[in-house]
Structure 1
Amino acid sequence: MKTCLIVDEAPVIRKIAFRLLRREGLDVDTLATMAEAGSWIDSHGAPDILIVAANLQDKAIVDEIKILRQRTAGSTRLVAMIVEANLGLMTRLRRAGVENYIYKPFTRQSLEEGLGAYLIDAEEPAVA
């Protein structure tokens, strides 16, 4: 089973994303801060998918994402949750290692679209 770590300061966002992604067959954990994510990765290993909230007001988010990317040695699919399409922020996030974006607030459909191919093999293969 694939693992997914969600990092967002909003408990409601974490709860909704947790429920939706569990239904997709992922083993999901949620955290409120990037510092907690670093500790989680140190103790559990790199998740298959890391979803982080990123906003324009948080100037340190790009540096924190770079650090997490280094900790996971590039093995983790990194997705950012953003509120609006801000080209400057999106470019900095992409350079830090973000592979895709999900817009908040999200629906089940937009969450699935944002994670796209990362969910395709989330289910265990059937044994013949």
Structure 2
Amino acid sequence: MKTCLVVDDSKVIRKVARHILETLEFTVSEAGDGQEALDSCRVSAPDVVLLDWNMPVMSGIEFLRALGQEEFETRPKVIFCTTENGIAHIRAAIDAGADEYVMKPFDRETLESKFQLVGVA
């Protein structure tokens, strides 16, 4: 089974994402902020990270930059998931290492297509 780490400070978003991803046959773990996510990746890197932008402790962008400094056998794919839709935000996410970008609110079809685009669905 493919693995996904859902990183969001909202329990509701994590729960919705978990439900969708489990229907897509992913094993799902969760983190409430970027530091918790980085610690989790260091222990066991997932196939893909669904990453929120605005979080306490460590933001999504800060997480991406830190992830880029880590040594992984296979670097997790990262899909940024946020309400920020400005082209500057999208560019900043891609420049920091995101593989794809999805807007909130999202649905099963949207997530499935983004996961297919990065090669993990």
CA distances 1:62-95 after superposition (whole Å, capped 9, x unpaired): 2321112332536211100021421111111111
What amino acid maps onto 1:40 in structure 2? Answer: S
Shift of 1:41: 1.5
Counterpart contact for 2:53–2:80, Cα < 8 Å: yes
Aligned residue pairs total: 117
What amino acid maps onto 2:104 in structure 1? Answer: K
Shift of 1:105: 0.7
Of 94-103 and 110-119, deviating more is: 110-119
- The unaligned stretches of length 5 or more in structure 2 are none
Q: Which residue of 1 aligns with 2:5?
A: 5
- For 2:37 and 2:22, the matched residues in 1 are separated by 19
Counterpart contact for 1:83–1:104, Cα < 8 Å: yes
Q: Cα distance 1:65–1:109, how it changes in 2: closer, same or farther (>3 A)?
A: same
- For 2:26 and 2:70, the matched residues in 1 are separated by 21
Shift of 1:119: 3.8
**What RMSD, in angstroms, separates the aligned Cα atoms of the two structures?**
2.1
Shift of 1:60: 4.8
TM-score by length of 2: 0.85
- The unaligned stretches of length 5 or more in structure 1 are 121-128
- For 2:31 and 2:60, the matched residues in 1 are separated by 15
Q: Indicate whether 1:39 and 2:43 are aligned.
A: no
TM-score by length of 1: 0.81
Counterpart contact for 2:38–2:63, Cα < 8 Å: no
Aligned to 2:29, the other structure's residue is in SS state: strand
Matched residues, percent identical? Answer: 27
Which ranges of 4 or more aligned residues in structure 1 deviate by more than 4 Å? none
